[in-house]
């Protein structure tokens, strides 16, 4: 794809605030000057907003103030005026009921902050799981030239001469404590070794997945995704990003030029190759909805089905993000896919060049970490989209993190009505359950939780774990952390809280899962399902007020991205009326 650059110089958006001698122009400039800004910074140079999700409540993003300074250096070097502003920070590790509930709020904050302020271009500073999609959603809705730079993953965890991955080790060790393989004291000791530097998860969890998605979409500079947070090259990336956004403004290179159907198809295929998080499904659907690209679960299944998973990282594989970076990072994966005829090489990137040109000369420095296609972890990676009478609108499963012997399975359902019911009963030695059963949890979708928390990877009953069993089929309308693993069916749509078939499953029903044939079936007659649904009543009361009420009334299903119905589409970058 050849991008036609806009003519420069040309009128800028910020000129409506700063570009004249009227009372209003003087008003805007004079207040800005109380920060010690020289007059010549308002001489028509591009004004670049730095959209920062820094927060000490969001550990993955707590180092972004330093990166913002590096971005400013680059903007000044390229002749722009950097102005940093904060937006709501959605931290996965602390926010309740779940960070996903606030992704749309953060996206609204980003969109309105960009639209209402004198930004000619925006650098998006993200890190934790939901901050990346939220920033991309907000920027896509305004279509102001935008580029993303990630905070980067933390260093590898090390405990007793073994590498431990954030999140993945947490799930593993928690199960080991329940099975008696690990003491609680050992678990607490390992805690000190899991997160030993600034940055996001060091596994291929959702944070690293979404950083990879931003790069595969073309919305970040090549190589951005994998550089560790504390590596000096992360600061270099931030500075180069600052330089590049100024040129993007001059060229008028916008998100709508980059976020095309080809870009989303590239990202879907890339997600399969890296063994990426199932959360990428929801986030890419939501971002696509903001730019008017027709993207669906069927696209995920069609494009991911034959993609080999070649990145040998936890939770699907062995290594962590440091090794991925040292091996060459995402550019090596993209080149492998291109060489295999799997990507649209002409898709445009923020560099102004097509993605094929960006990765043409990269090399794989560790084929054990980024494997050749003929030595892939699995030949059919991607995200499997299952449908049937239990999930008419679809459900998702990550084959690279699942157990082969459970990919075709029929079992008796053991049903938990919600997360509280699960917690109350799962450790009961009298619970009628064994490894052949199918664990089912309801009312954990977008409306049901509310916010669709990462609880779908239900821990197994202790009495099953003590047998040495490590996996069972689990089905819910929830999400799971990208750091998690197992034969877990997620995002079942429609969700139980709105009357989807999941709502009427009973303990003792039999459920069939057939991943190769993409089938998820409840062995109950259509007439019985209809009768049960007729008798069903919603379990969730509408919140009385506040953001929770807004969320409940307007959130859409997981199968379309769980965005708000009134936020679909691009609303543009028109400048609002000056009231002064």
Instruction: Cite the beta strand spans of 62-189 per DSSP E.
Output: 81-86, 121-126, 146-150, 157-159, 162-164
The mean pLDDT value of the chain amounts to 95
Structural domains of the chain sorted by starting position, each given as residue range(s) with its CATH number in brackets: 45-155+202-375 (3.40.50.2300), 158-194 (no CATH), 384-540 (3.50.30.80)
User: Does position 580 have pLDDT exceeding 70, yes or no?
Assistant: no
Q: pTM for the whole thing?
A: 0.96
Q: Which residue has the tokens 């959603």?
A: 137
The residue written with tokens 């291929």 in the block is: 204
| Confidence tier at 379 by pLDDT (50, 70, 90) | confident
- Tell me the average pLDDT across 405-432: 97
The secondary structure of 408-452 as a DSSP string is EEEEEEEEESSHHHHHHHTT-TT----TTSEEEE-S-STTTTTS-
- State mean pLDDT over 193-199: 90
Say which DSSP state 126 is in: E
pLDDT tens-digit map of 325-371: 999 999 999 999 999 999 999 999 999 999 999 999 999 999 999 99
Q: Within 13 Å of residue 290, how many CA atoms lie on the same side as its CB?
A: 32
pLDDT band, residue 484 (cuts 50/70/90): confident
Which tens digit of pLDDT belongs to each residue from 518-542? 999 999 999 999 999 999 998 878 8
* pLDDT recorded at residue 578: 67
**Per-residue b/e over 183-215, b at no fewer than 16 CB within 10 Å?**
eeeeeeebeebbbbbbbbbbbbbbbbbbbbbbb
Map tokens 């991205």 to a residue. 561
* pLDDT number for residue 12: 96
pLDDT at 178: 87
- Comparing C-alpha atoms, which of 284, 262, 260 is closest to residue 271? 284
């Amino acid at each position: 794809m050849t991008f036609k650059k806009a003519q420069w110089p040309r009128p800028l958006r910020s000129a409506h605030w700063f570009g004249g001698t009227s009372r209003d122009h003087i008003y805007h400039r004079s207040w800005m000057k109380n920060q010690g800004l020289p007059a010549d910074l308002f001489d028509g140079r591009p004004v670049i907003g730095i959209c920062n999700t820094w927060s000490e409540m969001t550990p993955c993003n707590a180092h972004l103030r330093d990166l913002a300074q590096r971005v400013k250096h680059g903007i000044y070097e390229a002749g722009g005026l950097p102005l940093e502003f904060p937006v709501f920070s959605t931290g996965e590790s602390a926010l309740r009921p779940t960070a996903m509930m606030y992704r749309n709020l953060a996206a609204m904050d980003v969109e309105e902050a960009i639209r209402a302020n004198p930004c000619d271009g925006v650098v998006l500073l993200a890190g934790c799981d939901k901050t990346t999609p939220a920033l991309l959603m907000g920027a896509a809705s305004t279509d102001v030239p935008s580029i993303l730079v990630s905070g980067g993953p933390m260093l590898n965890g090390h405990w007793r001469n073994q590498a431990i991955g954030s999140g993945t080790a947490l799930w593993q060790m928690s199960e080991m404590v329940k099975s008696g393989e690990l003491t609680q004291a050992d678990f607490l000791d390992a805690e000190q070794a899991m997160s030993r530097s600034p940055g996001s998860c060091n596994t291929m969890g959702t944070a690293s997945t979404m950083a990879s998605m931003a790069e595969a979409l073309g919305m970040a500079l090549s190589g951005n995704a994998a550089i560790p947070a504390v590596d000096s090259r992360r600061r270099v990336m931030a500075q180069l990003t600052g330089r590049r956004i100024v040129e993007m403004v001059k060229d008028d290179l916008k998100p709508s030029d980059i976020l095309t159907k080809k870009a989303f198809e590239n990202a879907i295929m890339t997600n399969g190759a890296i063994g990426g998080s199932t959360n990428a499904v929801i986030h890419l659907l939501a971002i696509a909805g903001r730019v008017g690209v027709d993207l669906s679960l069927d696209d995920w299944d069609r494009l991911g089905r034959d993609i080999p998973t070649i990145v040998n990282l936890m939770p699907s594989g062995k290594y962590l993000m440091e090794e991925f970076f040292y091996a060459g990072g995402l550019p090596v994966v993209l080149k492998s896919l291109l060489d295999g005829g799997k990507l649209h090489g002409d898709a445009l990137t923020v560099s102004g060049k097509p993605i094929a040109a960006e990765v043409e000369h990269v090399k794989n420095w560790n084929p054990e970490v980024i494997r050749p296609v003929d030595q892939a972890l699995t030949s059919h990676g991607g995200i499997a989209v299952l449908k049937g009478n239990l999930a008419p609108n679809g459900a998702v499963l990550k084959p690279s993190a699942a157990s082969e012997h459970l990919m075709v399975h029929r079992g008796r359902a053991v049903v938990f009505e919600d997360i509280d019911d699960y917690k109350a009963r799962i450790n009961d030695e009298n619970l009628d359950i064994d490894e052949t059963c199918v664990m089912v949890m309801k009312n954990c979708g977008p409306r049901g939780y509310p916010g669709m928390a990462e609880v779908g990877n239900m821990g197994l009953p202790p009495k099953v774990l003590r047998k040495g069993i490590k996996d069972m089929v689990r089905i819910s309308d929830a999400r799971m952390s990208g750091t998690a693993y197992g034969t877990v069916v997620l995002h079942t749509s429609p969700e139980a809280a709105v009357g989807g078939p999941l709502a009427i499953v009973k303990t003792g029903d039999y459920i069939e899962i057939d991943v190769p044939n993409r089938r998820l079936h409840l062995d109950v007659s259509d007439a019985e399902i209809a009768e049960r649904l007729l008798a069903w009543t919603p379990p969730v009361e509408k919140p009385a007020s506040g953001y929770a009420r807004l969320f409940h009334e307007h959130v859409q299903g997981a199968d379309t991205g769980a965005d708000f119905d009134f936020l679909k589409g691009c609303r543009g970058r028109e400048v609002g009326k000056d009231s002064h």
